Each structure stands twice: as structure tokens, then as C-alpha cells.
Amino acid sequence: MSRWAVKEDETVFTAIRAQGAGGQNVNKVSSAVHLRYDIEASSLPEDIKARLLLLGDRRITDQGVVVIKAQTSRSQDQNRAEALARLQALVDSVAVPPTPRKPTRPTRASQVRRVDAKTSRGEVKKLRARVSGSD
């Protein structure tokens, strides 16, 4: 389990009717679940909140609310559990801060190899040119 568990009391669940095929069950039973999770109002640490808000995920609205729709199961309880698991996976994906990049310089040998490859490629392309005849 992750270090920062999402609290279920901070989420809002709404039962909705599922889409797609399923016959009469889909038409009369609200088994799909909409999960809404306000990032700013949550008890997550500030750095995780900031990384979540910067995440370019389509499930996060402009207001900072995560919206997840779960409808794969016929059971509302299973869909609730799946939605919570997806939210937890989203939080886990930003829980570990990214390692900062250390800028490096290319070696002299790699620079020479690159220029040599460009030169030889140019020679190959030069051979494709139209042949000028001395007729």
C-alpha cells in the first residue's frame, strides 16, 4: 500500500446509469459510479497536491477536481472500489518526486562520430543528384 492513502470520506460518489450494451439491467439499475475528489480540499501533502494539479490528466478539471467514472462491473460496490483504486493509482503516480535532471555535455568522441555520420549521410544523398552529362 502507498504512503499517502486516499481517504474515502473526502470523495463524493454519485450513482449513475452505465452506458453501452447490457440489456434491461443497464436501463433500470444505476450501477455505474462517478467519483469526485477535490484536490485542494484533500488531506494530501502540499507537494503531492501541486504535482497532481500540474499533471496533464484529462480526468482533472480546471477547478482541481478529479472525476473518475467506473462502470465495468454490474455491482455498484465493485465499481466504487474500482474508482477508488484508480484514484489511488493516480495519487501514487505523483507521490514520488521526479529526480532532477543533471545536465551533461557530449563527449568529444561522440561529437566527432555525429559529424562524421552527418558527412557520410550527405555524401550518400549527393549521389542521388541528377547526373550532368557532358554531351
Give residue 1's pLDDT.
Answer: 44
Give residue 129's pLDDT.
Answer: 87
Q: What is the architecture of the domain spanning 8-95? A: 2-Layer Sandwich (3.30)
Give residue 2's pLDDT.
Answer: 53
Contact 84, 6 (CB under 8 A): yes
What residues of the chain score a pLDDT lower than 50?
1
Domain residue limits, the chain = 8-95
| Cβ count near 55 (within 10 Å) | 14
Contact 61, 67 (CB under 8 A): yes
Q: How many angstroms separate the CA atoms of 83 and 71, rounded? A: 9
